[in-house]
Amino acid sequence: MHSKDTISRLYRSVLRIRRFEEVAADIYPSDKIKSPVHLAIGQEQVSVGVCDVLEDGDWVGGSYRSHAMHLAKGGTMNGLMAEMFGKETGCCRGKGGSMHIIDVGAGVMGSSAVVGTQIPMATGYALAAKAAGRGRVVAVFFGDGASEEGCFYESLNFAALRKLPILFVCENNGYAIHEPLAKRRARPEGICAVAEALGVPATRIDDGDIFAIRDGAAKAVAAMRAGQGPVLMEACVYRWRQHVGPDEDYGAGYRERVEAEPWMAADQVAKLAALMAPGQCDAIKAEIEAEVAASVRFAEESPIPAPQELFSHVFA
């Protein structure tokens, strides 16, 4: 059983991400958002469940599909919306856009558009965290497709060998762009077995349940803080929208809407809402609508970066 506080905190966080992305999707055709968008609508609970058990000094890293991770870890909506608009007030001063989110103050080490590259980078952060000896941990989010990159194996092996405090979170939505797992792996259900073979204990949550994700992460993080080394969590979820872009794509020829329906029926936003008092839900909804609307105004009213900004915060 989870406390009322936990339920309302999780509800607020998943709904906040859902509404941010729905509004961003509505704005997208206007061309005000200056980068491609990869939406996590339907998958928000993975970031929310994991980040719920992280602390301020812990780090997260992710892929191009990382709005949820940023907001769940404590990033501001203003900073993220302005970043998507390419504005100076964005969390990367307009240089990163939707796919390259860095927010050091919120513990977001970065997100990367090159599939899988966040995994070795996060492993390096975990090595640094272990050397610093302050009990900090790292969670790295990546897709099922990324688990087929060579650097996934290298990183897991190194993390297991050095007992690094890193939670590898595989967000398995069953597809790499349009290619289903069964066309890519001889053993589509073998991601955890691969991790175990490399010495990384692994758990699979096959129904996208936010409480199972949160509790699994809590157990893993406690073990990591106690020096027991890395853990892999495979969380099965479903991407409701296109791989990239604001729309649904059930007519695109690679999947049918009927496949999505059980996942939509098990929507975690609705599930959490049903566990709360109606008045409390309405109050949270109203606050979130106001926050999203304010972030759009903030992004619209913010200046575009001055040309000289091109030369700040770059190595060469």
Length of the chain equals 316
In angstroms, the CA 60 to CA 73 distance is 8
Q: What do you get for the CA distance between the two ends of the chain, in Å?
A: 53
Write out the two tokens for 5: 């506080």
Report which secondary-structure segment, H or E, holds 179: strand 179-180
Q: Which of residues 238-277 bind ligand TPP (CB under 6 A)?
A: 243
- Pair 60, 51: CB distance under 8 Å: yes
Task: Choose the stretch contacting ligand TPP; rule: CB under 6 A; options: 23-31, 108-116, 261-269, 308-316.
Answer: 108-116
Q: Minimum CB separation from ligand TPP for residue 66, in Å? A: 10
In angstroms, the CA 118 to CA 63 distance is 7
The answer to whether residue 177 forms part of the interface with ligand TPP (CB under 6 A) is yes
Q: Minimum CB separation from ligand TPP for residue 294, in Å? A: 29
Q: Which of residues 110-129 bind ligand TPP (CB under 6 A)?
A: 113-115
The count of chain residues that interact with ligand TPP, using the rule CB under 6 A, is 14
Could you write out the DSSP letters of every residue in 77-117?
A: HHHHHHHHTT-TTSTTTTSSTTT---BGGGTEEEEESSTTT
Residue with Cβ nearer ligand TPP (143 or 208): 143
Q: Minimum CB separation from Mg ion for residue 183, in Å? A: 13
**Interface with ligand TPP (CB under 6 A), residue from 75, 143, 216, 229:** 143
Write out the two tokens for 132: 């610093």
Residues lying near Mg ion in the complex (CB under 5 A): 143-145, 173, 175
The answer to whether residue 208 forms part of the interface with ligand TPP (CB under 6 A) is no
Q: Minimum CB separation from ligand TPP for residue 143, in Å? A: 2
Q: Site residues (CB under 6 A) for ligand TPP? A: 63, 65, 113-115, 143-146, 173, 175-177, 243
